[in-house]
Structure 1
């Protein structure tokens, strides 16, 4: 089985997310008094809508536009060749001004979208860019992008339910309002701990897949070095927190690594070169 470790982690994370979602549904039944059939229907509909909205919001948040094929024919050609080798449909290619050199993918195997920043296109040489594109296509092929988008959606929904549960069961005063905000934030962070844990692992898998597809890890390792340096120099970034979890680069330090969506870039580079 291809990437058993990733599939197992996705199954466990999916089960945990389902448990959180089920608890939220029970709370809705108890607090709002909704009947079970309505809660079940609403839960399924919410997941579907959240996935669609999550994909749309990720693209809209960075102002992504179609990558012109006449200007970037080589990029389109490389992506088409990689997609063919990886057994997936060529994804939609888009470009955005993110303020930092970065890239991310959304969607599934038959309807994927890869977004690259203008800064990335200017920074990397063709082989390095191919490594980044192979990394993003690996995410689409492995279906871990879907898990990330749904995970973020479930975390938001569970947090909202927790906030309303506090508000509707309290005295509806200022203290309850602040308590609801705190409970919502803590609940969302708790759910995202599980999502970010699989996010860090999926980056290693996508790095390995990319290296296999392009015949070695050096181009991607070099790209990550340049991206890391470019991101540190940038003062402003238009990549919000949710999209950052989907990007090829991003990390935390100290306790923040528990909530980091990416593993340390030094470890990724070391693995690629070894």
Structure 2
């Protein structure tokens, strides 16, 4: 984790220096003086504006998950489990929000422990018919709260958010004309920072998922229940149509298991439906590379094996 944080801090500095260098080069080319402080000022204003716009436009996770808060009277058993687990982990009891989606979703949302919402989908509640399994999933999500993972991941994702915001705004520029001497190199810097930063934050996210698994087991005392829950949820994700997984992809990185299909859905083309999409072999390999680089969760089988080994060693 220390290495990842150091790398992301370096990457943030690299983004600042990269943007400054492009602006300094352009100002120097046009003999604008003094180029150094002007480039520094424009860099600071640009990145601060991008950061403000990015965080201002982010929808609440409950809305992305299509979830609605429910009170204790509507879900007494679920509130009882959440309250008990929260006490065991020494975190405030969360507000519970329910999504009607069939994709198995489970996530804890909230920057501060006092304002956490535990979001569960009907797909998760239907799959986990055993109270111990549901308790283990709740414990995993509240372990993220105890570990302050929302705060950690928000802070470390700063270079990724800035690079993504800068890149998307540069991509929206049509017919840049002479401004291409600024747009093209800035887009290259943003793309490089986004790619490297995304890979590093994904690795850090995988570490946080394993830590939440361990904390959940320590909290509820049943590695077998969590392993069984992960197995059922994984089976539910495999049975979910790709279309529904795409709808849930906005919360994939926050959910207990990733909500993306392992492979691209192949739709045959042509009047007879017998023609393979162009460059399908390349598209599938690029998709696998993307999944490998930016995977936010450890492989589910690896997590289950670790939990089984923990149960045997208990």
- TM-score range for the pair, normalised by the shorter chain length: 0.7 to 0.9
Does residue 98 (structure 1) correspond to residue 104 (structure 2)? The answer is no
- Report matched runs for 1:52-71 at 5 Å: 54=58, 56-71=59-74
1:63–1:21 distance in 2 versus 1, CA, 3 Å:
farther
Does residue 261 (structure 1) correspond to residue 255 (structure 2)? The answer is no
1:261–1:104 distance in 2 versus 1, CA, 3 Å:
same
Q: Deviations over 1:160-190 (max 9, x none)?
A: 335667969x635999989987775554222
1:15 aligned residue (9, 22, 30) = 9
4+ residue runs over 6 A deviation: 165-168, 173-183
1:127–1:27 distance in 2 versus 1, CA, 3 Å:
farther
Q: Residues of 2 paired with 1:88 and 1:44: CA distance?
A: 35
- CA drift of 1:27 comes to 6.3
Q: Helix, strand or coil: the match of 1:110? A: helix
The residue number in structure 1 matching 2:137 is 132
Q: Residues of 2 paired with 1:100 and 1:271: CA distance?
A: 25
2:115 aligned residue (111, 125, 128) = 111
Q: Helix, strand or coil: the match of 1:90? A: coil
Provide structure 1 residue ranges, at least 5 long, that are not aligned to the other structure.
1-5
**Bigger RCO of structures 1 and 2 (CA < 8 A, at least 6 apart):** 1
Q: Residues of 2 paired with 1:164 and 1:227: CA distance?
A: 37
Q: Residues of 1 paired with 2:10 and 2:43: CA distance?
A: 23
Provide structure 2 residue ranges, at least 5 long, that are not aligned to the other structure.
28-37, 264-287, 310-314
The residue number in structure 1 matching 2:252 is 244
The residue number in structure 2 matching 1:83 is 86
- CA drift of 1:16 comes to 4.1
Q: Residues of 2 paired with 1:181 and 1:38: CA distance?
A: 14
1:10–1:189 distance in 2 versus 1, CA, 3 Å:
closer
- Report matched runs for 1:1-274 at 5 Å: 6=1, 8=2, 11-12=5-6, 15-16=9-10, 18-20=12-14, 22-23=16-17, 26=20, 30=24, 33=38, 36=41, 39=44, 43=48, 46=51, 54=58, 56-107=59-110, 108-124=112-128, 125-152=130-157, 154-162=159-167, 171=177, 184-235=190-241, 236-237=244-245, 238-241=247-250, 243-250=251-258, 255=289, 256-274=291-309
TM-score normalized by the length of structure 2: 0.70
Superposition RMSD on alpha carbons, in Å? 3.8
The residue number in structure 1 matching 2:284 is none
Query: What is the aligned length?
Result: 264
Q: Helix, strand or coil: the match of 1:240? A: helix
Q: Helix, strand or coil: the match of 1:39? A: helix
TM-score normalized by the length of structure 1: 0.79
Q: Deviations over 1:188-239 (max 9, x none)?
A: 2221111101001111110011011111201110000000000001002221
Contact 1:159 1:183 in 2 (8 A): no
Contact 2:22 2:186 in 1 (8 A): no
